Chain A
Amino acid sequence: MVSRRDFFLTCGGAGCALAAGVSAGTILVPAKRAFAASSPRAYPARFWKKLPNKRIECGLCPKHCKVEDRERGFCGVRENRDGEYMTLVWGQPCAVHLDPIEKKPLFHFLPGSRAFSIATAGCNLECKCCQNWDISQSKPEDVDFHFMSPEDVVAGAKEYDACVTFTYSEPIVFLEYAIDTAKAARKAGVRATMVTGGSGEAEPMREALKYLDAVKVDLKGFTEDYYQRMCKGKLDPVLKTLEVILASGVWLELVHLCIPGQNDSEAEILAMCRWVKAHLGADVPVHFTRFHPEYQMKNVPPTPNATLVRCREIGLSEGLQFVYTGNVPGLAGENTSCSKCGKVVVVRRGFELLDMKIKGGRCGFCGNAIPGVWT
């Protein structure tokens, strides 16, 4: 068990960058159970197959990187060593952070609870707007990291009465670690959640979903052009992942970061909302969040509030039941209303839970079931 005394606050290396990119919250590094390291350890990876001449093909994500001996895939954290594929990030998070669950954002999953959030280096996309590019676009060697076993992570979460959340960079690239940690969490009665871009293959995602309690997916745009141009990815695999998550029964929420002039046209938002309703259902919460200039998009202004309000209006008019605005504390669209009586059942401001009128998963006013995980 990790006691609070075992943790100390630090604000150096990747952690400092993370704090700048994500929030000014607390960076937690377990002092006793983890130790700083300079070169990453390699552990056998899963979800790959051998090709001739010691080459391998990664099956973790749709890129299906064909990797030569001694080379790495697009994510930069999985390496071919003499014809065996290894992960260089298992048990080696570069960010450990305690967040409100609303920051993920997960609005229909244990409101007011905390998320013991971890990330490793690496990502299988390269979004020009990435807030955490310091770690997501880095190799393990480029960041400060610490050894932390799945059990250590779970103990940390338990100590803070938090769920475990895989987040900040891209959990798909550290999926073996995430799966092992989520397994340990379930065994210990701790919930596990994931924040992902959703660009994964179905088989590994299904394996992870067995041990997850909620997933938030960034649906970054709704055109192939956007994904290719802005993220070095593809839209279609993300949509398939969303359907895989829905089919698994694991709680799902979506976020769409609205970037002025890039993915915020009425036509694109409309098409996205219609697809969500048709393929995922009206009960899946959708968050339209404000963009802040970051990484390769420092020349683009923040999203106007009016855009977020308009996106929310489109979602609601298309029949989506739970549509939120985000990253603008105080803007209309942070609260949850009952889809039957229309009364506000969860009151929020920013990441703060102010009031909740949901009891046993039902509206405290009319008794209507509110979809989500409330207890």
Chain B
Amino acid sequence: MGALATMIATKTDAAPVPLSAGKPRVVVVRSKKALLKNGHNAGYDADRGALRAMVDAGLVALSGQKDATSALAKYFRPGERIGLKVNGLAGRGAATHVELVDVISVMLGQANIEGRQQIVFDRFARDLKTSGFSSQPRGYRCMGNDESGHEDALVQMPSSASRLTRVLTTLVDGVVNLPILKQHMLAGMTGALKNNFGCIHNPNKMHLDGCDPYIAEVNAVPEIRSKQRLVIMDALRPVVDNGPAYQPGMAEVANVLIFATDLVAADTIGLGILEDLRAKRALPTLTQAKMAPTYLAMASKLGLGVSDRAHIDVLSIEV
């Protein structure tokens, strides 16, 4: 387990673990049944039953509630419009799994967030399509920012300025951040924080200097920050090197989902998992490779969350 060795092993049928005061909780859920190798769909299919069990366990552990529906009710009010921010840029194989989004969509429905109130969104409609997402007859709608458009008004940040997607500003009340965990040659890693580059019109201007401080500053934008309710990070099969594009040889089955409400903490734990997977392949650490995601510390400095692992309450669950 390497960097995750300090985590607390918890069984799914155990009593909820009380939240630690002052520490953000991150729940790491593993299931050997999540991905099934079958020779198509980039080599693997995700099993919806296994994913449902993982999400159930993750939400309960994260929220301290008795079941997943109660957990979702803690994060979302009935009738709210919810954005499901996926990462579909790299296409199937290195995008948020459709099956995971489907499972979460159904669970939101059970928490009185009907399908028509759910919008799966990303930068381009094309990316959603090639990642396998399509609007469901009685379920969520899919929308690229190129379809919704961006606000005319600029949001000024210390180092840059952006226009926000109208999905975020006008179509949803809250967001489930559904990143995929990947190594990224410019940012070091991509997770929940970087996923919010998909909320602005000009992420191409923000990949200089390891995306630091740009990722942190984007996440500090009030319109973005205030709508982040929940992170469910898809680390089922992270791209461990030469990312963020999909290359079959660089995708490593980990069968992990990460749950958090603190984006910085979620990414910090995701980074640990990524480093473990890299170590298994005898790859250098991201720091050694001069690709350390320094934006995590910047995000912490801006008060967006916790990047110090010692101050994160991590629960590890096997289902």
Q: Which residues of A are in contact with B by a Cβ distance under 8 Å?
A: 39, 53-55, 66, 68-76, 126, 133, 137-139, 141-142, 232, 295-296
Contact = CB atoms under 8 A, between A and B. Distances in A.
B242 interface: yes
16 contacts: A53-B245, A53-B247, A55-B245, A66-B185, A68-B243, A68-B245, A70-B91, A71-B89, A71-B245, A76-B205, A133-B154, A141-B146, A142-B150, A295-B161, A296-B160, A296-B161
B226 interface: no
A90 B154 CA distance: 27
Contacts of B154: 133, 295-296
B201 interface: yes
B191 to A, nearest CB: 17
B161 A54 contact: no
A319 B146 CA distance: 52
Contact of B204 (A66, A69, A72): A72
A17 to B, nearest CB: 9
A232 B214 CA distance: 12
Nearest to A299: B156
Contacts of A76: 202, 204-205
Contacts of B124: 141
A118 B150 CA distance: 24
Contacts of A39: 146
A68 B244 contact: yes
Nearest to B124: A141
Given A76-B202, A126-B205, A139-B204, A70 B150 contact: no
Given A70-B245, A133-B161, 5 more contacts: A55-B245, A66-B185, A74-B208, A138-B201, A139-B202
Given A53-B245, A70-B245, A232 B91 contact: no
A95 to B, nearest CB: 17
Interface of B: 89-91, 124, 127, 146, 150, 154, 156, 160-161, 185, 201-202, 204-205, 207-208, 242-247
Nearest to B90: A70
Given A126-B160, A296-B156, A137 B146 contact: no
B64 to A, nearest CB: 40
A71 B127 CA distance: 11
B130 to A, nearest CB: 8
A250 to B, nearest CB: 30
Contact of A70 (B89, B161, B201, B243): B89
B245 A73 contact: no
Contacts of B207: 74
A232 B208 contact: yes
Contacts of A55: 245
Contacts of A74: 204-205, 207-208
Contacts of A142: 150, 201
B205 A137 contact: yes
A300 to B, nearest CB: 13
B284 to A, nearest CB: 18
A220 B140 CA distance: 48
Nearest to B186: A66
Nearest to A38: B146
Contacts of B90: 68-70
Contacts of B150: 142
B185 A68 contact: yes
Nearest to B162: A137
A39 B124 CA distance: 11
Nearest to A128: B161
A133 B207 CA distance: 18
Nearest to B89: A70
A75 B201 CA distance: 12
A104 B186 CA distance: 37
Shortest beta-carbon contacts, A-B, top 4? A68-B245, A76-B204, A69-B245, A141-B146
Contacts of A72: 204
A75 B204 CA distance: 7
A157 to B, nearest CB: 31
B138 to A, nearest CB: 28
A41 to B, nearest CB: 14
A68 B205 CA distance: 15
Contacts of A139: 201-202, 204
A73 B127 CA distance: 17
A73 B150 CA distance: 20
Nearest to A141: B146
A66 B184 CA distance: 12
Contacts of B243: 68
Contacts of A66: 185
A73 B242 contact: no
A214 to B, nearest CB: 29
Nearest to B202: A137
Contacts of A137: 161, 202, 205
B244 to A, nearest CB: 6
Contacts of A69: 90, 245-246
A374 to B, nearest CB: 41
Contacts of A126: 160, 205
A53 B246 CA distance: 9
Nearest to A54: B245
Nearest to B161: A296
Contacts of B201: 138-139, 142
B283 to A, nearest CB: 15
A223 to B, nearest CB: 18
Question: Which of B150, B202, B242 is packed against the most chain A CB atoms within 10 Å?
Answer: B202
Contacts of B245: 53-55, 68-71
Contacts of A75: 204
A74 to B, nearest CB: 6
Contact of A73 (B91, B146, B160, B204): B204
Contacts of B205: 74, 76, 126, 137, 232
A69 B205 CA distance: 18
Contacts of B161: 133, 137, 295-296
Question: Which of A53, A70, A139 is packed against the most chain B CB atoms within 10 Å?
Answer: A70
A53 B242 contact: yes
B23 to A, nearest CB: 36
A248 to B, nearest CB: 30
A74 B204 CA distance: 5
Contacts of B244: 68, 71
A57 to B, nearest CB: 12
